[in-house]
Amino acid sequence: MNHWIRTSGAFDAVTIAANMSTQRTQFGKPSTGAMRYVRYYVQRDVRLGESSIAIPVLARAWCLLDFELGDPIGVRSSRTGLNDRAETAALVGLETYVQNQLLLRGNFEHFQIHFKPLALHHLFGLPVLDLTNCNHSAHGVLGSAVSQLRQRIGEARTFQGRVQLADRFITAHSFKGPVRDSIELAANEILRHAGQCRMDSLAHHTGFSMRNFQRVFQERVGVSPKLYSRIVRFEAALKLKTASPHSSWTAIAQECGFHDQMHLIHDFRLFSGETPTGILTDARPAFELQTAPHD
């Protein structure tokens, strides 16, 4: 394991930052036909040369379809310490804690489709709860069509060409989606308000009792509405601090709806395994690899 640079310690953080300096990230918007289901498309290219790094995968409030197009990616379990190789096409569920590290070496390139809440349920009829904190072979779950998509994306020479291919794949399945339901609207409301929503108000607008609202939300989104809101708020706090680096964590906590700074620290440790300051220094590459544009 000694050949991997770890994401901890001030010296290693500087080393990693230098190694990540060749990173290029491109974001693409979905078409009108795919907009209900897709938050955005993203491609990242990182040229590490002879270096290797291990980056923790932070908690994340959405599912994604990942296509690995560069050198093989390793995955290390944070629980067991065992290494495995990432799928070249993977369906990745919502994440509620840091369960894996990505082991990057050489030339890292991937293209991803980041989904909106309930998208996998509506598009493919998948039991989203079974995807939470899990990675699956995309071929094993979605069949040969996604394998063909992966091949075409790999052959496409431009990011925009890849976006168009992915967008057509989504719109081809979009006819299966029902009219918008109240749980979908509630989940999108949580996203729009950066996790700062009253659960009783959301339940009221869905027409469900609080108990049934929590049950159906968890079945269709993958986690309870309260946990979903906390992860969304955690992500909002990270974005806000990055956009306003001179703001104090106390001010960030207040603006993002945390009770106090200790509450913010607790959630950061839960969802990133780091303190607020640590995630923007030692674990910054992890955040940079997961940073999303504003919806």
In the block, which residue shows the tokens 């291990």?
A: 54
Mean pLDDT, range 70-77, rounded to an integer? 92
Is the Cβ–Cβ distance between 56 and 286 less than 8 Å?
yes
- pLDDT for the residue 176: 65
- pLDDT for the residue 289: 55
Report the share of the chain in percent with pLDDT over 90.
69
Q: Which two tokens stand for residue 159?
A: 């990011």
Residues 6+ apart with CB under 8 A from 15: 5
* pLDDT tens digits for range 18-33: 445 467 899 999 999 9
Q: Would you say residue 177 has pLDDT above 80?
A: no
Helices 225-243, 199-206: inter-axial angle, 10-degree rounding: 120
- How many other C-beta atoms can be found within 10 angstroms of the C-beta atom of residue 110? 20
At 196, is the pLDDT very low, low, confident or very high (cuts 50, 70, 90)?
A: very high
Is the Cβ–Cβ distance between 233 and 196 less than 8 Å?
yes
Residues 6+ apart with CB under 8 A from 176: 122, 123, 124, 125
CA distance 165 to 34: 12
Q: Would you say residue 275 has pLDDT above 70?
A: yes
* 200 or 15, higher pLDDT: 200
CA distance 39 to 167: 11
At 74, is the pLDDT very low, low, confident or very high (cuts 50, 70, 90)?
A: very high
Residue 130 C-alpha from the chain's centroid: 17
CA distance 147 to 92: 15
If you average pLDDT over each of 241-245, 259-263, 274-278, 285-289, which comes out highest?
259-263
* pLDDT tens digits for range 83-109: 999 999 999 999 999 999 999 888 889
In the block, which residue shows the tokens 């002879």?
A: 50
- CB under 8 A, 24+ apart: contacts of 265-268: 267/230, 267/233, 267/234, 268/234, 268/237
Helix H or strand E segment including 155: helix 144-155
Q: Hey, which bits of the chain come out as E strands? A: 24-28, 38-56, 64-68, 74-77, 83-85, 89-92, 100-115, 135-137
For the chain, the straight-line distance linking the first and the last C-alpha, in angstroms and rounded, comes to 39
State pTM to two decimals.
Answer: 0.87
- Lowest pLDDT segment from 49-63, 151-165, 209-223: 49-63
Beta bridge partners of residue 102, listed in sequence order = 55, 75
- pLDDT for the residue 105: 86
- Lowest pLDDT segment from 139-153, 167-181, 207-221, 245-259: 167-181
At 188, is the pLDDT very low, low, confident or very high (cuts 50, 70, 90)?
A: very high
At 254, is the pLDDT very low, low, confident or very high (cuts 50, 70, 90)?
A: very high
